[in-house]
Structure 1
Amino acid sequence: MERIIGAAQLRVVIQRVSRARVRVDGKVVGAIGRGLVVLVGFAAGDSEAQMKWMADKLWGLRVFADGEARMNRSASDVGAALLIVSQFTLYGDASRGRRPSFAGAARPEAARALYDRFVKLCRAGGEVAEGEFGAMMEVELTNEGPVTLQLER
């Protein structure tokens, strides 16, 4: 897929974790043991193809250690889980002024549909927990490594 300047870019930040959970109003709504926390933001125009690519990438990305302590195994290989959390602030642009603009993020109604579809695509690969779309969430995690990556498609 050719990158086009100004084109929609599905954005994720992933962190390899030994455990993570999301709370809303003090109640745990999603939790995993070993796996990946996936913060995901959507832009207007993000496509099914982009989401399929990203779901496949998340399950196949080799960020877990093999027997020689090298990042050579994927979430699928080690039976890890994903914790997916919607994060429109990944589209925050603070290049001007002191207040970020979120104009690049998909509108809430469109983002909700994209998020639901993305979670469904990810569930096809293995165990998935999630936060609560649109809620004020507390995300608690133990980053393992630390390993943190940013991906766009």
Structure 2
Amino acid sequence: MITISTDSVARCVTAGPRPSCVLEPPPQPVEPAPATTVEAASHAGLVTPPVVIALLTATALDPAAVVEQRDTTVAGRHASCVAVRNLGDAPASAFDACVTSDGALGSFTGVVDGRSMETALSSYREGVDGAAFELPSGAAVQDRRHGT
């Protein structure tokens, strides 16, 4: 479990007899999520928005990249999609991604750094359920937010 909020970055391992979590300082508003957080998510098979943003940026800068654009609906929201092929110097040479009009990652399919990744938004709500950011019940917590 990885959650990023204005209060902290929480990385929790829920397998085993007792969940354990590490709390780290949150990224600053102008900074992307820390590389360790993005890397941990990627190793767990989760493609994160910073990874997709980096791939889309690489696509925009690569004149040899082949891009097909289409519009669709994802989780009831309008989404703009791209199918990218022949991407040169990037962690993925080909991928498909959709971003909703609200700016949410709607879907992603591709191989990133040798790992097959696929995600799709299945529902969308305007508000966030606060319980989504709660640590697992009974978790052992190591708080590194204040240098401890």
| Smaller-chain TM-score bracket | under 0.3
TM-score using structure 2 length: 0.23
Of Structure 1 and Structure 2, the greater helix share is in 1
Work out which of the two has the higher radius of gyration on C-alpha atoms and give 1 or 2: 2
TM-score norm. by structure 1 comes to 0.23
